A = this chain, B = another copy of it.
Amino acid sequence: MDDYCDDIILTGDRPTGPLHLGHYAGSLANRVALQGRCRRQFILLADLQALTDNAGDPGRVARNVLEVALDYLAIGLDPARSPFVLQSGVPALAELTVHYLNLVTVARLERNPTVKAEIQQRGFARDIPAGFLCYPVSQAADITAFKATLVPVGDDQLPMIEQTNEIAARINRLGGREILPEAKALLSTTPRLPGIDGKAKASKSLGNAISLSASADEVTRAVQMMFTDPAHLRVSDPGQTVGNVVFAYLAAFDPDRAGVAALGEHYRRGGLGDSVVKKRLNEVLQALLGPIRERRERYARDPAQVMRFVDAGTAAAREIAARTLDDVRGVFGLRPAATIAGRSAERLSLPVEAG
C-alpha cells in the first residue's frame, strides 16, 4: 500500500464507546495513512451492528455515534476523503441483507468461525439472537453496498471476507455478469495492543485502555499504573521487555525506533529503572495525544457540525448503496426502487391517519 491504489476501502467501528489507543494502533492510524492513497475510504459507524448485542441498551449506541465521530476528526480523518457513514442511515443495507439471507444456509452461518468463536466468547449457546447469527450476511451487505475491494481486517475476520465473496459470486452467477466485485482483505500487521494491566486486549469495558480523549493527567496516571516486569524489583536487576506493557506501547507509538531499541537492550541488561522508560512513554503519548485532544475539544464545541459531517457522508453513501441495491434487485427480477417511488405521485385516495 505504498502507492496510490484504485481500491475502494470499507472500514469502521461499532459505536459502543469512545475509541482508545488500541484502536489507534490497530486501525485508526492506518486509516489516516490510507486516506488519499486509495480511490475512496468509507468509514462505517456500524450502529445497527452494535445493536445486535446492545438491543437492551440502545442509548449507549446512540450516544457514542457522536463520540466516535469526534475521535475520527480528532485523529485527522477528513470526512470529504473518508466519508463517515451512519449504518442506520443507509436503508439499502437492510434490504441487501434480506436478499442475501436467501443465498446463505443456516448451516453455513453456523460454521462461520468468527460467529462460532464469538458465540463461545459471549456464552450465547443456542439462544443467540437471530441477528447475531445473520451478522456475517449483514457485513456482506456493508462491504458489497459500497463495492469495496479492500477491507482492513484482523486475521480472525478473514471468514467474513470469504462469506462476502461467496455471496458476491452467487449474485454475479445469478445475474450472469460481474455486479459485485471481489473484496480482498488488507491484513493488519500490527500486533494487538495489550491493556495497561497486561491483559491481552485493551478494552473500554475492562477499564484498561487509554482513550483518545484522555486528559494529560489521565495519560500520566495510566502510564504510572502500567504493568511492567513484576520480577524487575531493583533498578540494577535485568528486566523483561516481552510481556512488558510499557515496551509494547513504546514499540507501537515511539517514532524513535533506535531509541526504543537502545532502551530495551539497557532494560534487559539491567540498570534501567521503570520510571525512566515510563517517563519516555509518557512524553511519547503526550506528544501523540496532545494535538488529538486539542482537535477533539475544538470539534466538540459544535456537535451539530460533527453530525452534519456524518449526515453528509451518510447521504453520499446512501446514493451509492441505492445503486448497488438496484443492481441486486435486478438480479431478482425486482424493479429499481426509484421507479416505484417515482410513480407515487398518482396516489390512491387513502386517508392517512396519525399513529
A-to-B contact residues, CB < 8 Å: 40, 47-48, 51-53, 55-56, 58-59, 61-62, 79-80, 83, 86, 88-89, 91-92, 94-95, 97-99, 101-107, 109, 126-134, 137-138, 174, 308-309, 311-316, 318-320, 323, 327, 329, 331-335, 337, 340-341, 343-344, 346-350, 352, 355
Contacts of A103 in B (CB 8 A): 55, 129, 131
A337 to chain B, nearest CB (A): 7
A246 to chain B, nearest CB (A): 39
A90 to chain B, nearest CB (A): 9
CB pair A355–B323 under 8 Å, yes or no, is: yes
CB pair B347–A101 under 8 Å, yes or no, is: no
Q: Is chain A's interface secondary structure helix, strand, loop, or mixed overall?
A: helix
Contacts of A313 in B (CB 8 A): 348
Check A48/B323 contact, CB under 8 A, given A80-B349, A133-B130, A331-B58.
no
A116 to chain B, nearest CB (A): 13
Beyond contacts A48-B99, A315-B341: 14 other A-B pairs, Cβ-Cβ < 8 A, are A58-B174, A61-B333, A80-B349, A89-B337, A91-B91, A94-B97, A105-B126, A107-B126, A130-B134, A308-B343, A315-B344, A316-B350, A319-B352, A323-B355
A345 to chain B, nearest CB (A): 8
CB pair B350–A308 under 8 Å, yes or no, is: no
